[in-house]
Amino acid sequence: MSSAGRTSSISSRATTCSTAIENFLLLSEILEKVSGLSFNDLLKKRITGPLGMHNTALMPSDDVILPRLAGHHRRQPDGTRLKAANRTKRLVLGEAAL
């Protein structure tokens, strides 16, 4: 495969990923309108609550550092936590919010 073909393939996957994220954002907004609940409350009521996943929640912001939170922050040698790279509001509010 030529390098142009690989670039085209990568670009296509990135576009598909971006579209998927946008679709999750749209879906969460539709579910809020239909249910009358916030997306976080709907997830708790219909999914995480019934499954007993009481330590699972929707993160409205990645500025909050929670002790058991995986993936959003990385521990520094001195024990402090630093926001992980490549976190965006779109990811936090989309499919990667849990």
pTM for this one?
0.53
Q: What is the pLDDT of residues 71-82, one digit of tens each?
A: 666 777 888 877
Measured between alpha carbons, how far apart are the two ends of the chain, in Å?
Answer: 38
Span 32-87, pLDDT tens digits: 999 999 988 998 999 999 999 987 877 666 566 666 666 666 777 888 877 665 54
Pick the closest to residue 56 from 97, 1, 24 (CA basis). 97
Q: How far is it between the farthest Cα atoms of the chain?
A: 51
